[in-house]
């Protein structure tokens, strides 16, 4: 049997910006170095339609659109490390890890192709970004901020594996 040659040129790293996402980023960086691949980092700002409508009603549609845009910009800045403080609720674990990997770890730097901060269902944001950026592999952790919602609705990782058209590496994260 002849096995096909595996070519990985673009890796999509999906993150919820949790502290545990650092473990899965380590795998993405290692694979990036092994294959000479670039990494696209994706983060989803999850929305709840009922909440969206209520907030828009109270603050006005234009004000809510500005708030959402500011959140997206803040998340993007936190990921690429251009901002020290982020909005409440956003963590800077990825920024710190990215800086550490890029500056302090020998042979562990990587090419950051793009940062995508999408709004909506994390599964949809990840799948759409992987397809739009023509990625060859998705790397993500097995759990993050899911909590009770994740248990009841099914994990993001499980749904990504079921829906993705490309291989998905799920990194089991420490408890």
What distance in Å separates the CA atoms of residue 56 and residue 84, rounded to the nearest whole number? 29
What distance in Å separates the CA atoms of residue 171 and residue 175, rounded to the nearest whole number? 12
Which CATH number among 2.170.150.20, 3.40.50.620, 3.20.20.80, 1.20.1300.10 corresponds to the domain 10-170? 3.40.50.620
* Other C-beta atoms lying within 10 Å of the C-beta of residue 165: 7
Instruction: Name the strands in the sheet holding 10-14, side by side, starting at the edge strand that comes first in the sequence.
Output: 111-119, 38-45, 10-14, 137-141, 168-171
Q: How confident is the model at residue 1 (pLDDT cuts 50, 70, 90)?
A: confident
Comparing 112 with 19, the larger pLDDT belongs to: 112
Say what percent of the chain tops pLDDT 90. Answer: 31
Q: Give the CA radius of gyration of the chain.
A: 17
Task: Give the pLDDT confidence score for residue 164 in this predicted structure.
Answer: 97
| pLDDT per position as a tens digit, 3-14 | 989 999 999 999
Comparing 77 with 86, the larger pLDDT belongs to: 77
Residue 93: closest CA among 66, 101, 133: 101
Contact 166, 135 (CB under 8 A): yes
Q: Mean of the pLDDT values across residues 80-87?
A: 45
For the chain, the domains span 10-170
Say yes or no to pLDDT of 152 above 50. no
Q: How confident is the model at residue 78 (pLDDT cuts 50, 70, 90)?
A: low
| pLDDT per position as a tens digit, 100-138 | 555 655 556 677 788 888 888 899 999 999 999 999 999
Q: Two tokens at 22?
A: 């650092």
Say yes or no to pLDDT of 163 above 90. yes
Helix (H) or strand (E) holding 44: strand 38-45
Q: Is the pTM of this model over 0.85?
A: no
| pLDDT per position as a tens digit, 59-74 | 677 776 777 777 767 6
Task: Give the pLDDT confidence score for residue 56 in this predicted structure.
Answer: 59
């Amino acid at each position: 049997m002849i096995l096909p040659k595996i070519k990985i040129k673009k890796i999509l790293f999906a993150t919820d910006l949790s502290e545990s996402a650092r473990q899965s980023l380590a795998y993405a960086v290692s694979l990036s170095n092994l294959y000479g691949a670039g990494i696209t980092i994706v983060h989803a700002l999850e929305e709840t339609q009922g909440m969206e409508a209520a907030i828009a009603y109270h603050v006005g549609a234009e004000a809510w659109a500005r708030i959402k845009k500011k959140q997206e910009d803040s998340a993007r800045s936190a990921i690429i490390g251009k901002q020290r403080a982020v909005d409440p609720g956003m963590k800077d674990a990825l920024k710190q890890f990215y800086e550490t990997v890029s500056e302090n770890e020998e042979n562990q730097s990587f090419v950051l192709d793009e940062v995508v901060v999408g709004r909506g269902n994390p599964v949809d944001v990840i799948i759409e970004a992987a397809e739009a950026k023509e990625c060859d592999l998705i790397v993500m952790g097995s759990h993050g901020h899911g909590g009770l919602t994740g248990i009841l609705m099914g994990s993001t990782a499980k749904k990504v594996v079921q829906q993705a058209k490309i291989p998905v590496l799920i990194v089991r994260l420490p408890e």
